[in-house]
Amino acid sequence: MDKLLEANNLTKRFSQGNVISRAILTAVDNINFYIKPAEIFTLAGESGCGKTTTAKMILGFEEVTSGQLLRNGEPQTDKEKAWITEGVQAIFQDPFSTFNPMRRVDAYFHETVYNFKLAKTKKDAIDWIDQKLQLVGLTYQDVAGKYPSEFSGGQLQRISIARALLTDPKLIIADEPVSMVDASLRMSIVNLFKQLRDELGVSILYITHDLATAYYVSDRIAIMFRGKIVEMGSVEDVLMNPRHPYSKLLRDSIPQADPNLRWDSRVTLAELEHEEYSRKGCRFAGRCPEVMDICKTVVPPDVRIDDVFVHCHLYEELEEA
């Protein structure tokens, strides 16, 4: 199977506190996943679960503590910045913070075209930029000479996507790209991801806490909890038939009447974060309705059930992954 990107035992530790009281927090703990060409793969979980730290390691913004990232089967090293800058592009949560309010939007496009030598003449540059903007439903004329404040959040997020497309990336990392966009425009952005996958063969790593859009757009999904992937498989399997108690809780926390709502208060207990990160056994043991004695002391196994991976003692009798 072709794997565009593969994470093997990927781990990130941060040290916290001061000289007198120092603690190590394992923000991403031995996770394994892959992304295929032309696939939308989602990392989902509440805030503080390690999904953004994972994205930062892929983008080279955070050093990997241990484990490995492979691209097309080859180790991704610090020297291979070209793949990171050209082959992978990122889209962030707040499109207004991506652009300086005092700078014209088209200047960003011309700068990228110039830096990556994507065109020889100004006319070629404008044609190249126009081609990318048309992919997101805009034209060069729509952005030329305008400042970020002249666009809505949804338009500016589309412009961020067009800018990301300038280098013909293989992978786009979209970190909460619709959380600051009006609910009415959210689907148009995620539909755009599907279009880029289907028409250009671009893969998307979609990072979100919004299970409704995750279900709609993803091919496969990994649910993260306190640095661990607790369940991973096709989006149908994981969200329609969740096995891990945390996935079940997340799924049940989306009120049926309002698919735009995210996790509710039952699962946004920030004060528990540090305690859960330091647990010896299963990090979810303090909140799990199916907790057993073993869960409090022994790290759960990764069990494969059909094509789904579940990190839980409940399935121990089944073959370990």
Of 172, 108, 164, the closest CA to residue 132 belongs to: 164
Q: Tell whether residue 314 is a contact of ligand SF4 (CB under 6 A).
A: yes
106/176 Cα distance (integer angstroms): 24
Stretches 132-140, 166-174, 198-206, 310-318: which one binds ligand SF4 (CB under 6 A)? 310-318
Please list every residue from 242 through 301 that binds ligand SF4, using CB under 6 A.
244-245, 282, 284-285, 288, 290-292, 295, 300
Residue 148: φ, ψ to 5°: -55, -35
Contacting ligand SF4 within 59-88 (CB under 6 A): none
Minimum Å distance from CB 278 to ligand SF4? 15
The helix-helix angle for 105-115 and 153-165 (nearest 10°) equals 10
Q: How far is the CB of 284 from ligand SF4 (least distance, A)?
A: 5
In whole angstroms, give the CA distance from residue 30 to residue 12: 8
Shortest Cβ 243–ligand SF4 spacing (Å): 9
Neighbours of 285 (CB within 10 A): 21
| Pairing of the two strands 40-44 and 308-311 | unpaired
Tell me the closest approach of the beta carbon of residue 315 to ligand SF4, in angstroms.
8
CB-based burial, 168-203: b 16+ in 10 Å, e otherwise: ebbbbbbbbbbebbeeeebbbbbebbeebbeeeebb
If the CB atoms of residues 159 and 238 are measured against ligand SF4, the closer one turns out to be 238
Closer residue to ligand SF4, CB minimum distance, 197 or 244: 244
Comparing CB distances to ligand SF4, the nearer of 292 and 305 is 292
Interaction mask 188-227, ligand SF4, x per CB under 6 A: ----------------------------------------
Tokens 């926390």 belong to residue: 253
Q: How far apart, in whole angstroms, are the C-alpha atoms of residue 196 and residue 206?
A: 13
Q: Note the helical H segments in 51-104.
A: 51-59, 81-82, 95-98
Closer residue to ligand SF4 (CB): 109 or 225: 225
The two beta strands, 171-175 and 88-91, are parallel
Cβ proximity to ligand SF4: between 185 and 299 the closer is 299
**Closest CB 304 distance from ligand SF4, rounded Å:** 15
* Element (DSSP H or E) covering residue 127: helix 122-135
Q: How far is the CB of 168 from ligand SF4 (least distance, A)?
A: 42
Residues that bind ligand SF4 (CB under 6 A): 244-245, 282, 284-285, 288, 290-292, 295, 300, 312-314
